[in-house]
Amino acid sequence: MRLLKSKDPDTCRWLIGEFVERVTVTRENVDVIFKVTVDLYGGGKGTRTPDL
């Protein structure tokens, strides 16, 4: 978030290029398609919830 708040045009272009795949603007909508990777096999080696 800090990178976006800097309002540096080159930094913002880089962030958009890294994380946004496509933006479609119509009269009614703005559709943003993000580049997302979902790891279904637990490759992150971390835990997000405590063991109960």
pTM for this structure?
A: 0.53
For residue range 8-50, list pLDDT tens digits in order: 889 888 888 888 999 999 999 999 999 987 767 766 666 665 5
Structural domain of 18: 2-34
Determine the residue type at 21. E
On whether residue 23 sits in a domain, the answer given is: yes
Domains in the chain: how many in total?
Answer: 1
CA distance 7 to 4: 6
DSSP 30: E
On whether residue 17 sits in a domain, the answer given is: yes
Grouping H, G, I as helix, E, B as strand and the rest as coil, residue 46 is coil
CA distance 12 to 10: 5
**What's the confidence (pLDDT) of residue 28?**
97
**What's the confidence (pLDDT) of residue 4?**
72
**What's the confidence (pLDDT) of residue 15?**
85
